[in-house]
Amino acid sequence: MTNNELVYIALKSKKNAYVPYSGFKVGACVEMDDGTVYTGANVENSSFGATVCAERCAVFSAVSDGRRRIKRIAIASDSKSAVTPCGICRQVISEFSYENTVVLCASNDGEFEKYSIGELMPKAFKLED
């Protein structure tokens, strides 16, 4: 699958976002090391802190299905500028990543910026460290 295809799936995945509070729909698509693909969208809550971002939704779906290592993850929103993962999501992505796991941050037209998780989350907390 190409980077563009992964971004396209992330863009489509935001359609099921539950965003009555922010109105900001986010979609994510994660490709695991065995080629399997999982999607996610943000799910908000009236207790705001209980909100789950699209990236964590996709990663937890993959992990709870038995997958462990992320090859690439794409994130997209309705915003004209590229959406980058929040700090909590960077930590969660790091937990299941290689140093060079690719993070594709897309804008609403499908253009994307490409980072490694190591760039976005240097020195991520690891309990075994």
What are the φ and ψ backbone dihedral angles of 81, each rounded to 5 degrees? -105, 155
Amino acid at 23: G
Query: 109, 82 in Cβ contact below 8 A?
Result: no
The residue whose two tokens read 């460290």 is 129
Q: Which of 1, 5, 22, 114 binds ligand THU (CB under 6 A)?
A: 22
By C-alpha distance, which of 97, 13, 7 is closest to 59?
97
Q: Which of 85, 97, 101, 112 binds ligand THU (CB under 6 A)?
A: 85
Binding string, residues 90-129; x marks residues near ligand THU by CB under 6 A:
----------------------------------------
- Please, what is the minimum distance in Å from the beta carbon of residue 99 to ligand THU? 20
Nearer to ligand THU, 8 or 24 (CB): 24
Give the C-alpha separation, 29 to 74, whole Å: 5
Nearer to ligand THU, 50 or 127 (CB): 50
Query: 99, 72 in Cβ contact below 8 A?
Result: no
Binding flag, residue 24, ligand THU (CB under 6 A): yes
Q: Which of 44, 58, 71, 105 binds ligand THU (CB under 6 A)?
A: 44
> What is the sign, positive or negative, of the torsion defined by CA atoms of 74, 118, 94, 20?
negative
113 is known as an active-site residue: no
Tell me which residues touch ligand THU (CB under 6 A).
19, 22, 24, 26, 42, 44, 51, 53-55, 85-86, 89
